[in-house]
Amino acid sequence: MSKPLPPFNEIDKGVVVIDATNHVAGRLASAVARLLRARGDIRVYIINAEKAVITGDRKMVLGWYARKVSEWRTHYNPEKVGPKVPRRPDRILKRIIRGMLDYKEGEGRSALKRLRVYMSTPAVALPKERYYVPEALLRPKPMYKYVALEELWRHIDPAAWRKWSEAQQLLQKINRPQK
């Protein structure tokens, strides 16, 4: 299964696969950005991005992100051109990580190119060894409030979420062993 992410100097060259399930998005992004900056020879793959969470009251988080997505349409900008706000969980998580890197400079740009973020587990061949980031794990307490990135996506873009959800259910049916 998953193991805790070892210190950066103990990680071998190659690929590091991090499972984002039950990780706080900002804390995970901070750890991944540090890893990408510290080691220029490592590729980082993040899987299950839709299961990462944003802490805070559900209504506040959903309202804040919906406002962020829609605020660019104004009288002066009726075509809604301008900053593109990601809606899918994998792109949201990658944008959070990008914000923690100096992506306009050479080192940050190369670090961002070594990062791949996937929803669910991709079909590409990845190493079996998966890691989690202990300091980024969600530690729920009674009355602790958080929103999964998948739920945020479902609220922002329900049509795209529905298509993805149906495709995931179909994949599960196909991959289910026959009795």
**CATH code of residue 114:** 3.90.1180.10
pLDDT at 12: 76
Task: Provide the number of structural domains found in the chain.
Answer: 1
pLDDT at 123: 74
pLDDT at 83: 73
Q: How wide is the angle at C-alpha 27 spanned by C-alphas 93 and 87, nearest 5°?
A: 20
pTM above threshold 0.95? no
pLDDT at 78: 66
Contact status, residue 48 vs residue 121, Cβ threshold 8 Å: yes
Read off the pLDDT of residues 95-114 as tens digits, 9 standing for 90 and up: 999 999 988 888 899 999 99
The per-residue pLDDT string of the chain (179 residues; one tens digit each, 9 = 90 and over) reads 678 888 877 777 788 899 999 999 999 999 999 999 888 889 999 999 999 999 999 999 999 998 888 776 666 666 666 677 889 999 999 999 999 998 888 889 999 999 999 998 887 767 778 899 999 999 888 888 999 999 999 999 899 999 999 998 988 888 776 66
How far is Cα 91 from Cα 87, in angstroms, rounded to an integer? 7
Domain range for residue 117?
2-175
